[in-house]
Structure 1
Amino acid sequence: MAASLALAMPGAARLPPQVDAVASPADRYRALFEAVQMRRLFADGKAFVDAVPRRPVARIMADYRARRDWSDEALKAFVLANFEVPDDDPPAVRPIQGPTRPLTQHIRALWDTLARPPVVPVPGSSALRFDGRHVVPGGRFREIYYWDSYFTMLGLKVDGRRDLIEGMIDGFVGLVGRHGHVPNGARSYYLSRSQPPFLYAMMDLSDAAAPAVLGRRLDALIAEHGYWMRGGRTVRMPDGAVLNRYWDDRETPRDESWREDVLTARSSGRPAKTVYRDLRAGAESGWDFSSRWLADGRTLATIDTTAIVPVDLNSLLFGMEQAIARRCAALKRPCAEPFAARADARRRAVERWLWNEAEGRYGDFDTSTRAIRPGVTAATAYPLFARLATPARAARVAVTIESKLIAPGGLRTTLVETGQQWDAPNGWAPLQWVAADGLANYGEDRRARRIAAAWVATVRRGYASSGKLVEKYDVEAVRPGGGGEYPLQDGFGWTNGVTQAMIARWNLRD
């Protein structure tokens, strides 16, 4: 490659006004925050960052600074006296006698259990305003999350919950209006990053037809696209084409995993700020964490997410650009042609730089080695989901998926066991849907149904033994999954949504 690889310049795009600038807990509580997190006063680092102050923050901090010799016991007592702290030890999945109702009925009943009213934040808390009634994932995930919500909505659509679908879309549009993008989740400590951009796909699930509503939603999509095309999230490829990477605007430990990130950086032998940004970018990807982002393919301390041009993100941005072009045309706005051209340019760049001809798969481009990273992963299905792939390449990917990624219990995430939760042997609901739907887009109905049937059988087996649905499953042993930074969570929004949608689409009822 003769041309040098360089970061694309952000150009003349201007940042949107930050109407609701909200401090993160680390910024607001500083020394108190660091002491609580580094001493691990709570088992889950997310507990304190989700806490709500019981009195004005200035008075709490004045009382904290007035004393210097805080023991762990005294500091925890001080925090509990001054904050409402959520349960930091969510219960693990425990076997019960068995389910009391069919799986589809159980999921249908869970929507109201997981539904939350619009959020009006308490002063001093990390919660962000969210305008619509919405569904949270469950467990420690007490707030709405970005990419989770699309897969949750698939089940809501099957069950006729238009109220929740519209509330969630309107809430996300409101976040874009206030912050310029949809953050990772509706918390102040998530504002410096986003997640895989599925907002355009959510809008396709809506029945809204009023021109004013469609206009507001198009404005939000255009603003979100602008967010992704600014600054550190863009990469210029060797031929001058511009693609995107995951990023985070901050280079500090994540508020919700502060201690873990500090220890990872210390063990890395690398500049701490570099490690922190790569950890944060990995969190933006939704695959937190995976061998996809590890320079040595196994060790978290080698994480280099920002060196990777990922196929999933660029496929979704292609889908977003096509959706904007369609919506511009429908509303007779002059933006249809420019966004269609952007989509075409991105398609060409993905096909050139993110395709591995020898292995018949799409992958992630490593800007350090100037080659696609080794190892097939479930991300290879994204160009099929976004309808970006040519039929010939989609056919080759279908063979690769069937021969490499389909396990007894569903689609494998990767083929590597690292102990990270987005690696083997785990399978995740969103990837099951992306792969099955993507294969179906290209007429690969048998393979799509095979993934759906295996996944639904895995979820049914877990439900029969525990009465619960969980966030991830071991698709090799066909049981609840493991690994990662926190205990297995139940609830669980996207598992409910994908399972319900697969049962309906592929007629997988008992």
Structure 2
Amino acid sequence: MQFKVNIETNLQMLLLQEDTDGDKKITIEDKGPQKFELISTEGKSYLVNGTYHLSNLLQELVIAKNEGKTETIIPLSKIEEPPFDRISRMIRDYFWDGLTRTIDKEGIEKIVQDEKSESTEKIIYVPFGDTLAQKYFVKVANEIGNIKVEILPEIITPEYVLSINNKPGILSLALENRNGDIKGIPFVVPGGRFNEMYGWDSYFESIGLMIDGKTHLAKAMADNFDYQIQHYGKILNANRSYYLTRTQPPFFSSLIKEVFENSKEKNIDWLKERLNTAIKEYETVWMVDGKRLTENGLNRYYAEGIGMPPETEEGHFKSILSVFAKKHNLSLDEFETKYASREIIDKELDIYFIHDRSLRESGHDTSNRLEDKCASLNTVDLNSLLYKYETDFAEIISTYFDGTFISSKGKKYSSEYWLEKSGKRKELINKYLWNNEDGIYYDYNIETKKQEIFISATTFYPLWAKICSKEQAEKLVVNILPKLIEKGGVVSCTKESRGIVDENNPQRQWDYPYGWAPHQMLIWKGLLHYGYEKEVLDLIEKWLHMIAQNATDYNGTVPEKYDVVDATHKVFTEYGNVGTEFEYITQEGFGWMNASFQLGLYLLKD
């Protein structure tokens, strides 16, 4: 049954009657009658009942209005669409498009401004070695008129990055020349204030993109990662100037492997180029002695940089800076200003910020697991990811390059070379990170020479990377998994590990009671590797039901994270919850949350 309706008339009447709190959404917190008579242009009527159906009607009217229509035919099947079907369809047909960006003439103004910065300047930074981009963006800036172009130095140092923190800008990404028409290669942003291309977010978003038949976009993400490694030396935390010294969890080998396997046309030259770059990243970012590679042969996060990370919200470091302001007999504002300008140099505080930047490099910003010690830890998550790099390289070379791969610099790599690397890493992981008595992987502190006793969801990364023996997997599933399962899925850590929350130990967003999409996705796949289908089914149902219930009750909201203990998107912690602030209809959801929903449904179908 279809109804042709006047959009504006019905929209205004609906909001007047049902949006009682005036937030331009219809949720369970509104106190309207929850019954609305939809009137067609022919005078027919249809009674829409309940918060969910009313919010669907609101969304459909706004979608039609945004398309420039004054009248529209609304299929009643969309108003009454089952929640799981509707959320999946909105992700596939609307959210990915809403999150897609390009850095070129058409897309630059949508991305150059940064909500995380107080600066009003619009600056694009272009790599020293990319002459095409330099010429192109100088031309674009002249045509648009309100954008500045800055060319980065050939060698980017922490001192240089500090010097431009007061004039932050977007970093250019890959361009392609389409018959003389230069376009930016597209990418997907997480959403909200995260309006740039992020490191590990992009891998999880790409999983959702491939499920939704958008492998071309996932491939474009891999192409932009390749560009970042070639021109910025690493896959960046994100492509803003203040992230130039910081990378993020390494998923590049997984991305290129899965994109290639999902592509209809198997372009072996593309795979060769991306594999070459991934090996370069592995060797130059992760395996340099004294930086991210430690003496025991395992790895750590180690983000270089000077002073406070400028992207954090105001007052984020108040508690730690107050201590040092008192030490230097200064007011908080005076100390912060002098420390930021390096008029005051305090080595103890500098070390704190090395740990803090490294924590942000880990993607887990912030968590008591890593607070004030991240750069001292061989973490389970990082070493699992690098083991996956090594086994991926071995498999790709064996399957597609007859067992031998020659890099662009002429270095020869065999599958056996990478299997030997992964075998050695597995031995070290079992030596330093596995605790047989507790049946769990812990992070290892290279300073104290002890394991950090902290029960985190990251202990399941070795299942995803296929490091565990069957016996280790069973211990994790039997002894540890039940401690992390809550109403809405897997929680980031146990309440006991988090500790008591007070003024000296604030609630951190990567700790109990919060759950995050990447943890769920990795744990589902990891458990499936070891045959735990029943457990996976239970976890997926918890996660999807929580997402669907919140979207049903709150006008289609699909946010960044959840309180999985209470199964709600209403979280009260640092940075709030991205994806909850919108009017009428969410155009984006949140990148990896969208992907987790699509992956969950995909696995349930299997």
Q: TM-score, normalised by structure 2?
A: 0.64
Q: Within 5 A, what are the aligned runs for 1:150-299?
A: 150-206=203-259, 207=263, 209-226=266-283, 227-230=285-288, 231-237=290-296, 242-257=297-312, 260=315, 263-267=318-322, 271-294=348-371
Alignment partner of 1:312 is 2:381: yes
Report the secondary structure of 2:515's partner residue. Answer: strand
Matched AA of 1:501: L
Report the secondary structure of 1:149's partner residue. Answer: helix
Cα separation, partners in 2 of 1:481 and 1:434, compared to 1, 3 Å? farther
Cα separation, partners in 2 of 1:258 and 1:423, compared to 1, 3 Å? closer
Inter-partner Cα distance in structure 2 for 1:477 and 1:389: 32
Inter-partner Cα distance in structure 1 for 2:212 and 2:366: 32
CA offset at residue 93 of structure 1? 11
Aligned 8 A contact 1:93 1:488 in 2:
no
CA offset at residue 258 of structure 1? 7.5
Matched residue, 1:385: 464
Cα separation, partners in 2 of 1:184 and 1:93, compared to 1, 3 Å? farther
Matched residue, 1:110: 95
CA offset at residue 188 of structure 1? 1.5
Alignment partner of 1:126 is 2:214: no
Inter-partner Cα distance in structure 1 for 2:387 and 2:530: 17
- 1:394-429 CA-partner distances (Å, limit 9, x unpaired): 111111343211111100100135410000100000
> Aligned residue pairs: how many?
405
Q: Within 5 A, what are the aligned runs for 1:305-344?
A: 305-329=374-398, 330-331=400-401, 332-333=404-405, 334-336=412-414, 337-344=416-423
Inter-partner Cα distance in structure 2 for 1:201 and 1:95: 40
Inter-partner Cα distance in structure 2 for 1:180 and 1:262: 29
Aligned 8 A contact 2:470 2:530 in 1:
yes
Cα separation, partners in 2 of 1:235 and 1:285, compared to 1, 3 Å? same
Aligned 8 A contact 1:426 1:481 in 2:
no
CA offset at residue 375 of structure 1? 2.4
Inter-partner Cα distance in structure 1 for 2:425 and 2:604: 32
CA offset at residue 118 of structure 1? 3.9
CA offset at residue 290 of structure 1? 0.6
Inter-partner Cα distance in structure 1 for 2:439 and 2:25: 42
Aligned 8 A contact 2:256 2:271 in 1:
no
- Pick the structure with more strand per residue: 2
RMSD: 2.0
> Structure 2, unaligned stretches of length 5 or more?
1-22, 28-50, 57-80, 109-123, 125-146, 151-167, 175-184, 325-346, 406-411, 502-506, 580-588
Aligned 8 A contact 1:325 1:335 in 2:
no
The partner residue of 1:447 within 521, 535, 547 is 535
> Structure 1, unaligned stretches of length 5 or more?
1-91, 295-302
CA offset at residue 183 of structure 1? 0.7
- 1:410-450 CA-partner distances (Å, limit 9, x unpaired): 00100135410000100000000111110110001111111
Inter-partner Cα distance in structure 2 for 1:317 and 1:261: 31
Cα separation, partners in 2 of 1:155 and 1:375, compared to 1, 3 Å? same
Matched residue, 1:415: 494
Cα separation, partners in 2 of 1:361 and 1:117, compared to 1, 3 Å? same
Larger relative contact order (CA 8 Å, sep ≥ 6): 1
Inter-partner Cα distance in structure 2 for 1:285 and 1:481: 25
Matched AA of 1:443: G
Matched residue, 1:21: none
Matched AA of 2:90: H
CA offset at residue 267 of structure 1? 4.2
Report the secondary structure of 2:493's partner residue. Answer: coil
Inter-partner Cα distance in structure 2 for 1:308 and 1:95: 46
Report the secondary structure of 1:286's partner residue. Answer: coil
Matched residue, 1:368: 447
Matched residue, 1:473: 562
Cα separation, partners in 2 of 1:137 and 1:313, compared to 1, 3 Å? same
Inter-partner Cα distance in structure 1 for 2:479 and 2:527: 12
Report the secondary structure of 2:369's partner residue. Answer: helix
Aligned 8 A contact 2:209 2:217 in 1:
yes
Matched residue, 2:595: 497
Matched AA of 1:198: F
Q: TM-score, normalised by structure 1?
A: 0.76
Matched residue, 1:431: 519
Cα separation, partners in 2 of 1:459 and 1:244, compared to 1, 3 Å? same
CA offset at residue 260 of structure 1? 4.2
CA offset at residue 187 of structure 1? 1.2
Inter-partner Cα distance in structure 1 for 2:445 and 2:352: 17
CA offset at residue 338 of structure 1? 2.3
Percent sequence identity over aligned pairs:
30
CA offset at residue 503 of structure 1? 0.7
Matched AA of 2:522: V
Matched AA of 1:477: D
Cα separation, partners in 2 of 1:450 and 1:232, compared to 1, 3 Å? same
Aligned 8 A contact 1:128 1:187 in 2:
yes
Report the secondary structure of 2:192's partner residue. Answer: coil
- 1:441-476 CA-partner distances (Å, limit 9, x unpaired): 000111111111111111111111111100100111
Matched AA of 1:219: N
Aligned 8 A contact 2:439 2:480 in 1:
no
Inter-partner Cα distance in structure 2 for 1:404 and 1:431: 15
Matched AA of 1:193: R
Inter-partner Cα distance in structure 1 for 2:307 and 2:419: 37
Aligned 8 A contact 1:378 1:412 in 2:
yes
Matched AA of 2:513: P
Aligned 8 A contact 2:257 2:396 in 1:
no
CA offset at residue 262 of structure 1? 5.1
CA offset at residue 268 of structure 1? 5.4
Matched AA of 1:478: A
Cα separation, partners in 2 of 1:127 and 1:385, compared to 1, 3 Å? same
Cα separation, partners in 2 of 1:356 and 1:267, compared to 1, 3 Å? farther
Report the secondary structure of 1:111's partner residue. Answer: helix
Cα separation, partners in 2 of 1:468 and 1:261, compared to 1, 3 Å? closer
CA offset at residue 355 of structure 1? 0.6
Aligned 8 A contact 2:209 2:595 in 1:
yes
Cα separation, partners in 2 of 1:483 and 1:422, compared to 1, 3 Å? farther
CA offset at residue 117 of structure 1? 2.0
Aligned 8 A contact 2:313 2:575 in 1:
no
Report the secondary structure of 2:396's partner residue. Answer: helix
Matched AA of 2:279: I
- 1:35-54 CA-partner distances (Å, limit 9, x unpaired): xxxxxxxxxxxxxxxxxxxx
Inter-partner Cα distance in structure 2 for 1:261 and 1:472: 19
Aligned 8 A contact 1:452 1:502 in 2:
yes
Report the secondary structure of 2:422's partner residue. Answer: helix
Inter-partner Cα distance in structure 1 for 2:521 and 2:479: 17
